[in-house]
Amino acid sequence: MTVAQSATLTMDGRLDPQVTHRLRDLSVLVSLPQVTLRLMSLISNPNTSVKEVQEVLERDPALTAKIISLANSTYYSVRTPVKTVERAITIIGYQELGLLAMGLGLSETFNITTSPKGFDWESLWIHSLAVSWLSQRLAQRVGLAEIGEPMVAGLLHELGIIILVSKFPSQFQNLLDLILAGQSGLEAEKALRIRHELIGYELARQWKLPEVYQEVILYHHCPDKAPRYKQVVAMTALADALSHKLGFGLMTEVLEVDLAYYLEALGLSVLELQGFIKDTLLVANEVSPLWRQLLRFGEPSASKSRFSSLMKESEARKLGPA
Ligand SMILES: [Fe+2]
Ligand SMILES: [Fe+2]
């Protein structure tokens, strides 16, 4: 069964006809930059070399400038100025850098410059980065060899919200107004015949993104319905729920967590999950200032510890029971 067949069987696929119509035009008008698509496949592949990432990054002069500027920021405390992408990669880490470049590609593609009233667009990117980071940590915790795929999935899972904020501002404003008036995200979406999962999926499908990302985008609020990539979808969905616990959630979402499902899908015990959450809470406070800096390329507001070393440290750390 394909993702599309499954979608029509398991979800109420009816959207506001105006939205459906405009989505068809959007898939023609809006396309992801080649650099973003190439990075997506490189990060997802565990055999990717640093050199391959470097070659892709260097093809985009604007991106190269931003990356070198980031590597020279005080966050990384380098002693001698960074002048090459190669050195920037060794400082920041190729997966983190690739992910950042993908995030920039997405944000530039959708060009969100103004926030709808009552919504902070930066919180959307912080949420996406947080879910990506949490998915990566979960993948390491459950011993998955390919951590790149959950990382990319985390970054992309709210493609529908990104589309709504940037391309359907009046519909998104109506959604926000209902939520601010007390409705849950789900109730508000139902009332307006908007489903952010379906909107994101529709564009991902038209863009022909890899099926694993289509499934994550479509099923991140009902991971048990995912037909093929249950583990990655469960990982992203649990990371989504945990992002709320850590204070990086999206106000438009209500997450009903079926703990038993996640534990089974990921092969974790309750104690292991508790240990993971406790450990992650500690590290998140250190790493989150970097997410804000990644979005601004300005000076860091807090910790000066290195992102890549935190990643390595978190990977190496044994997660005991709480
Ligand atoms: Fe969502
Ligand atoms: Fe989310």
CA of 34 to the centre of ligand 2 (A): 25
Taking residues 113-137, what's their average pLDDT? Answer: 83
In a domain, 62, yes or no: no
- 73 in the Ramachandran plot: left (φ > 0), alpha (ψ -120 to 50) or beta? beta
- How far, in Å, from the CA of 63 to the mean position of ligand 2? 26
Res 318: pLDDT: 31
Planar angle of CA 315, 316, 317, nearest 5 degrees: 95
The pocket of ion ligand 1, defined by CB under 5 A, consists of 253
Domain residues for 275? 3-30+117-315
CATH number of the structural domain spanning residue 166: 1.10.3210.10
Q: Is the pLDDT of residue 290 over 60?
A: yes
Query: From the CA of 220, how far away is ligand 1's center (Å)?
Result: 6
Asked whether residue 185 is assigned to any structural domain, the reply reads yes
Residue 250 CA to ligand 2 center (angstroms) comes to 6
| Integer Cα distance of 138 and 315 in angstroms | 10
Say yes or no to pLDDT of 151 above 60.
Answer: yes
Distance from Cα 273 to the centre of ligand 1, integer Å? 22
**pLDDT of res. 117:** 77
Inform me whether the pLDDT recorded for 124 exceeds 70: yes
Amino acid at 34: Q
Residue 78 counted as domain residue: no
CA–centroid distance, residue 83 to ligand 1 (Å)? 39
Ligand 2 centroid, distance to 287 Cα (angstroms): 19
Determine, yes or no, domain membership for 103.
no
pLDDT value of residue 138: 93
- Cα–ligand 2 centroid distance for 59 (angstroms): 31
pLDDT at 5: 47
Q: How far does the centroid of ligand 2 lie from the alpha carbon of residue 278, in Å?
A: 21
User: What is the domain count for the chain?
Assistant: 1
Ligand 2 centroid to Cα of residue 151, in Å, is 13
Q: How far is the CA of 99 from the centre of ligand 1 (A)?
A: 19
More confident residue, 226 or 110: 226
* Stretch 199-227: mean pLDDT: 92
Phi, psi of 55, deg, nearest 5: -60, -40
Is the pLDDT higher at 296 or at 277? 277
Distance 229 CA to ligand 1 centre (A): 17
Q: Ligand 1 mean position to 197 CA, how many Å? A: 6
Q: What is the mean pLDDT of the chain?
A: 79
Residue 44 CA neighbour count, 13 Å, CB half? 19
C-alpha of residue 50 to centroid of ligand 1, in Å: 32
Residues 6+ apart with CB under 8 A from 26: 163, 167, 203
Rounded to the nearest angstrom, the distance between the alpha carbon of 43 and the centre of ligand 1 is: 22
